[in-house]
Amino acid sequence: MEDKKNNIESLFEDIKEYLNSSIDLVKLKIIEKVSEFGSSMAIRLLLLVVFMFFFVFLNMGIALWLGDLYGKIYYGFFAVSCFYFVIALLCLLASKQIRRRLANFIITQLLK
């Protein structure tokens, strides 16, 4: 009888260790996914900032060049701003698809 009691206690201890190990494994997997996602987003943010600087200076150059062609510098800035206004309208019309694709991207990154 005593032997059965020890076996049952041993079984419960093994189950407890298994559950603790499983919980620790899940925690480590979550930490890994969050760190991968965070580092990926940090690199993308850095690249975005560098690209934005490039993009701003490129647009200023184009605006100055167009202004020189049109005869007044501010005409070039108006032309560039109108171009981006049209782009913004197109993005607004496609915002539902953009939001869905962004959400799917985030989900696939977290489930990878």
For 33-56, the pLDDT digits (tens) are 888 888 888 999 999 999 999 999
Range of the domain at 73: 2-111
pLDDT value of residue 101: 87
Instruction: Report in angstroms the alpha-carbon separations of 70 from 14, 15, 29, 74, 82.
Output: 81, 79, 59, 9, 15
pLDDT value of residue 14: 86
Alpha carbons 40 and 66: distance in angstroms, whole number: 38
> Total structural domains in the chain?
1
**Please, are residues 80 and 59 in contact by the beta-carbon 8 Å criterion?**
yes
Q: Is the pTM above the cut of 0.85?
A: no
Alpha carbons 67 and 65: distance in angstroms, whole number: 5
pLDDT exceeds 80 at position 2: no
Q: What angle do CA 38, 40, 44 make, to 5 degrees?
A: 115
pLDDT value of residue 73: 92
